[in-house]
Amino acid sequence: MHEPKLIQLAASDPDLAALIEGEAQRQHDKLRMIASENYVSTAVLEATGTVLTNKYSEGYAGKRYYEGQQFVDQIELLAIERAKALFGADHANVQTYSGSPANLAIYLAFLDPGDTVLTMSLSSGGHLTHGSPVSVTGKWFRPVHYTVERETGRVDMSKVREMALAERPKLIICGGTAIPRTIDFPAFAEIAQEVGAILMADIAHIAGLVAGGAHPSPVGFADVVTTTTHKTLRGPRGAMIMAKAEHATAVDKAVFPGLQGGPHDHTTAGIAVALHEAAQPSFKDYAAQIVANAKALAAALTDHGFDLVSGGTDNHLVLVDLTNKGIGGKPAAKALDIAGIETNFNGVPFDTRRPLDPSGLRLGTPALTTRGLTEKHMPLVAAWMDRTVSAALNDDTSELAKIAGEVKELLSAFPMPGYTA
């Protein structure tokens, strides 16, 4: 059953309540390995499901356009102070609706249409909002992209520097959605300084690892840091922008009134809760365990002959190139889903297949670590994946169902926040 209980909803709208209960059960029974997903605490669920959703608060604390901000101002200031303390940032803006608008706010704050931005290519692990041609960031600005190296799966910083010197970007972005290796923030900062560019670190995926000390921090190196709050940071759907003091006004103006209207105050409260949780000593253990689990998973997958981009991982994410297994990423992901293991198909660097039917599979350990799984379970997870790929190639649906049963059986011993049996 969902926790908090859906008592009123079940009475007033049983169809919808049943769908939400179904999703809670699904999240409980399956091994959730989508690298950008997690389970938030019941406290975060409670904060986001409050009367704060009724309030309008355009502006910033002490400078609002609507009355009645006696409590909302304090809530937003609490979230800001917690963000600044946790990451050691000069300035924090907690109003952006999600990661994509947070990134767009940075373009708005520092660029004019047509300006050059240097970012990691989508196929090497960058994000759509880093200048993909289908994104507004690619249509209205002039993106140039660095990539990983074909042989190593890693970025060669000397090539990033060469591109920066040749292209003279106004903005350089580091970070992405499918990067299994540590990002060298000091090296990016040095290049940005040399060419007079603003450096933005997009830590949407790794914010929880940074907060927990399991990945180096960009704070002090990047001019601005954007992040979602709902991935490894384990908060509600939302985002934050952190900035050096000199950029505080530009960032705040870009978010409001530049891009958005009223902030989602219930989300702000949920972010404040998550930041408080991330400041506890136990969150350091959580962050370290995410990485330990990913490394153990990478080793176990390698033992089963899986080919990993860059040969392994430094963080929460493993990118598998399935070419040598004779199966595409999409059929593999679909089979894994039937086998109770939730992943997403993903391109690999220099992929020869199409984006909707790519060669890779992206795996992450943030959610299963929240459930309490440790290194010792990762060989079993890798073995399930290997069996699933074989079963998919042999059209063996009963084997997939058998694996799903084993997954559910294991997970029944690991409580899920937001659910009670």
Ligand X SMILES: *Cc1c(COP(=O)(O)O)cnc(C)c1O
Annotated binding-site members for (6S)-5,6,7,8-tetrahydrofolate: 122, 126-128, 246
Largest alpha-carbon pair distance within the chain?
65
Q: Is 58 annotated in the active site? A: yes
Residue 184 a catalytic site member: no
Are 376 and 294 a contacting pair, CB within 8 Å?
A: no
CB of 309 to ligand X, least distance (A): 16
Least distance from ligand X to the Cβ atom of residue 6, Å: 25
Residue 419: active-site member:
no
Of 271 and 404, the one with the shorter C-beta distance to ligand X is 271
Residue of 3, 56, 60, 161 marked active site: 56
Write down the catalytic residue from 58, 90, 184, 386.
58
Question: Of 154, 231, 330, 387, which one is the catalytic site residue?
Answer: 231
Distances (CA, A) of 228 to 113, 187, 274, 366: 25, 23, 12, 14
Q: How many Cβ atoms sit within 10 Å of the Cβ of residue 420?
A: 13
- What are the structure tokens assigned to 208, written together? 């929880």
State how far the alpha carbon of 52 is from the alpha carbons of 46, 47, 78, 266, 267, in Å: 11, 9, 15, 5, 8
Quote the least distance from Cβ 99 to ligand X, whole Å. Answer: 2
264 versus 387: smaller Cβ distance to ligand X: 264
* 8 Å CB contact between 319 and 356: no
Q: Which residue's CB comes closest to ligand X?
A: 99
CB within 8 Å of 91: residues ≥ 6 apart: 84, 242, 243, 244, 245, 247, 248, 251
Of 327 and 348, nearer to ligand X (C-beta) is 348
User: Which residues lie across from 317 on neighbouring strands?
Assistant: 364
CA angle at residue 277 from 4 to 68, to 5 degrees? Answer: 70
Residue number with CB closer to ligand X (104 or 403): 104
Closer residue to ligand X (CB): 103 or 293: 103
Q: 295: number of CA atoms within 13 Å, CB side?
A: 10
The enclosing H or E element of 40 equals none
Name which of 72, 106, 130, 325 is nearest 226 in CA terms.
Answer: 106
Shortest CB 128 distance to ligand X, Å: 8
Q: Give the distance, in angstroms, between the CA of residue 183 and the centroid of all CA atoms in the same chain.
A: 15
Question: Where do contacts with ligand X occur on this chain (CB under 6 A)?
Answer: 36, 98-100, 103, 127, 129, 175-177, 202, 204-205, 228
228 noted as active-site residue: yes
Distance of CA 346 to the CA centre of its chain: 15
Residue 202 known to be catalytic: yes
H-run or E-run covering 163: helix 157-167
Q: Measured from the CB of residue 127, what is the shortest distance to ligand X in angstroms? A: 4
Catalytic residue among 30, 96, 119, 202: 202
Which residues lie closer than 8 Å to 244 by C-beta, 6 or more apart?
A: 90, 91, 223, 224
Residue 282 CB contacts under 8 Å (≥ 6 apart), including other chains = none
Quick check: is 56 catalytic? yes
Contacts of 225 (CB under 8 A, 6+ apart): 87, 89, 200, 201, 202, 203, 218, 219, 241, 242, 243
Least CB distance to ligand X at residue 322 (A): 22
Q: Smallest gap, in angstroms, from Cβ of residue 30 to ligand X?
A: 21
* Closer residue to ligand X in complex, CB, 200/385: 200
Nearer to ligand X, 69 or 313 (CB): 313
List, by residue number, the catalytic residues. Answer: 56, 58, 202, 228, 231, 237
